[in-house]
Amino acid sequence: MRIEGQSALVAGGASGLGAATTRALHERGASVVIADLNAEKGEALASELGERARFVEANVMEAEPVRAAVDTAAEADGGLRISVCCAGIGWAARIAGKQGPHDLEIFHNVVKVNLIGTFNVLRLACAAMAGNEPDGEGERGVCVNTSSIAAWDGQIGQVAYAASKGGVVGLTLPAARDMAGRGVRVMTIAPGLFDTPLLAALPEEQREALGAGIPFPSRLGRPEEYAQLACHIVENPMLNGETIRLDGALRMPPR
């Protein structure tokens, strides 16, 4: 599917991987709706990009705000054609430790944001795309989700995060099969260690050490590289029902 002239939604699109994807889609000629909880950053990015960029405040865990963001993107001629979900949170805690068992509410919240939130965006975007007119290839839309290499290589303390991201991997193929008859593709990207706001809080020495552990290139991934892959997925009609690791051949050790 071509990007130029299409309407796109980026959930979690105000910072990190999402902001890079918002910029990449916009640079390639798409009209982009930025859906994010952070109104200050979202409005600033929409203002920076100017024409063809709008911000809608939305929590991916809530149906109506996400529906409003999807509806805003679907108002464009041709309807919503591209949806990318980058929203997510992390948490570190062992399943049982000195403080007792893993907090159940924290586990619930991580799964709710990362897995249920992703599904919420996916289900509403797919429903909107199903009503589009097909293009020359029979496509009506493309959805890109975000998992993590923790889905396979979860480290000590990542039980909640790994479970939530593993769920995103698990829903990718059946979701693609669900939507195949409507011409909507579903894909997932599983990033490794990327230079996002989460890692920006670490000391530079620690950031460099993390990057050095990646086989090649031996550095942290750049958000623009995630965005580049997301755009390629949109443009390559044979990519469907798969999760792509984007990690420089990294396999995470236990700790």
Q: Catalytic annotation on 161?
A: yes
CA of residue 144 relative to chain centroid, distance: 7
Euclidean distance between CA atoms 74 and 33, whole angstroms? 10
Nearest Cα to Cα of residue 18 among 60, 50, 51: 60
Residue pair 230/144 in contact (Cβ under 8 Å)? The answer is yes
210, 211, 212, 216 alpha-carbon torsion, rounded to 10°: 140
Eight-class DSSP state of 158: B
From 55, 91, 107, 161, active-site residue:
161
Reading the block at residue 81, the tokens are 């054609």
What is the rounded CA–CA span in Å between residue 164 and residue 161?
A: 5
Pairing of the two strands 96-97 and 31-36: unpaired
**Residue 209, H or E segment:** helix 204-212
The C-alpha angle with vertex 116 and arms to 115 and 120, in degrees rounded to 5, equals 120
CA 53 to chain centre: 18
Q: Which two tokens stand for residue 12?
A: 């979690």
By C-alpha distance, which of 200, 169, 172, 188 is closest to 246?
Answer: 188
Q: Mind telling me the catalytic residues?
A: 161
